Amino acid sequence: MKNVVLIGFMGTGKSSCGKAAAQQLGYRFVDLDKEIEDKYGMTIPEMFRKYGEAYFREREKEMVRYWAAQKNTVISTGGGTVKDAENVAMLKANGKIVCLTADVDTLLARTERQGKRPVLDARAAELGGDRRKAIQSLIDERQPMYDQADCTVDTGELSPLQVAVKLAEYIR
Ligand code: S3P
């Protein structure tokens, strides 16, 4: 069976819903960020600090290339994975793309911890520390990429299990 690929902004629940969906479907689960962290022995924020975003994006693309070619896998991407059109093409070629969404208040609460999300932290710093504005401006930029999904699920009011059940219904 084709893969199920979860895309969407930071804090939309790609990892928690992805794990639950993999259980529902009897698929393997993979989180691209975690794969990078395990392979390179450092956290994503550390990688950004030491080598910069471009280096991280190359590592991310390597992971997409490998995992997009697998089968029966729920793939949780990073919030910026879809900025690269080749990543989208690879993931689409062998998977159903599902975009998870939530409103800005929910995303703000879920991404509160600073230092964990370097792209959001950097944008907030550019905007005088306003994390809400930072989230909105990144979403505005990325919306056309997120719109390439085959379907969208709002996770604001749903538990990971409820999202997983929806996804399983859609996939089957
Ligand atoms: C990023 C999102 C992060 C991670 C990296 C960059 C982004 O993943 O890949 O910090 O550009 O939106 P999550 O969406 O899992 O937080």
**162: Cβ contacts below 8 Å, ≥ 6 apart:** none
Given the structure tokens 């509160």, which residue do they identify? 112
Q: Please give the ipTM for the structure prediction.
A: 0.98
Could you read off the pLDDT of 74-129 as tens digits, one per residue? 999 999 999 999 999 999 999 999 999 999 999 999 998 777 899 999 999 999 99
Could you tell me how many residues make up the chain? 172
Task: Give all domains of the chain, ordered by start, each with its CATH number.
Answer: 3-165 (3.40.50.300)
At 144 the pLDDT is 97
Question: What residue's CA is closest to ligand 1, atom 16?
Answer: 10
Q: What are phi and psi of 7, to 5 degrees?
A: -120, 170
From residue 115, alpha-carbon distances to 108, 110, 128, 162 in Å are 14, 13, 16, 30
- Tell whether ligand 1 has an atom less than 6 A from the beta carbon of residue 79: yes
- Tell whether ligand 1 has an atom less than 6 A from the beta carbon of residue 100: no
4, 1, 30, 28: which is closest to 150 by C-alpha?
4
Could you read off the pLDDT of 125-138 as tens digits, one per residue? 999 999 999 999 99
